């Protein structure tokens, strides 16, 4: 599914957990929106892959200023970023 609109936060979190678990990182049972992405293997290469997935799935291209450790710390933080139009326009 390409370029689907950004859904409500809870739905977005669930979609991102699935996307990351199925296509990006090997996650253990119990991985959820609050899990630390860096502890589960998120590194610079995985961030680049995640950016491509976000663009494919939601048509979102995040600005360089949004690429912070805090914004990519968990699915919940990433969902907050994706739900903020001002962050995408920066």
Mean pLDDT by 10 residues, the chain (90 residues): 79 97 97 98 97 94 94 97 75
Crossing angle between the packed helical segments 9-23 and 44-58, to the nearest 10 degrees: 130
Threshold 0.75, pTM exceeds: yes
Residue 35: per-residue pLDDT: 98
Domains defined for the chain, CATH in brackets: 9-85 (1.10.1200.10)
pLDDT computed for residue 57 by the predictor: 93
pLDDT computed for residue 1 by the predictor: 46
Q: How many CB atoms lie within 10 A of CB 63?
A: 10
From residue 44, give the alpha-carbon distance in Å to each of 49, 50, 63, 69: 9, 10, 16, 10
Q: Are 82 and 60 in contact (CB under 8 A)?
A: yes
């Amino acid at each position: 599914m390409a370029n689907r609109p950004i859904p409500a936060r809870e739905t977005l979190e669930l979609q991102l957990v699935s996307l990351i678990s199925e296509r990006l990182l090997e996650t253990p049972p119990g991985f959820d929106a609050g899990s630390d992405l860096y502890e589960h293997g998120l590194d610079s290469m995985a961030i680049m892959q995640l950016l491509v997935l976000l663009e494919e799935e939601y048509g979102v291209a995040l600005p360089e200023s949004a690429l912070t450790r805090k914004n990519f710390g968990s699915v919940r933080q990433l969902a907050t970023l994706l739900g903020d139009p001002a962050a995408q326009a920066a």
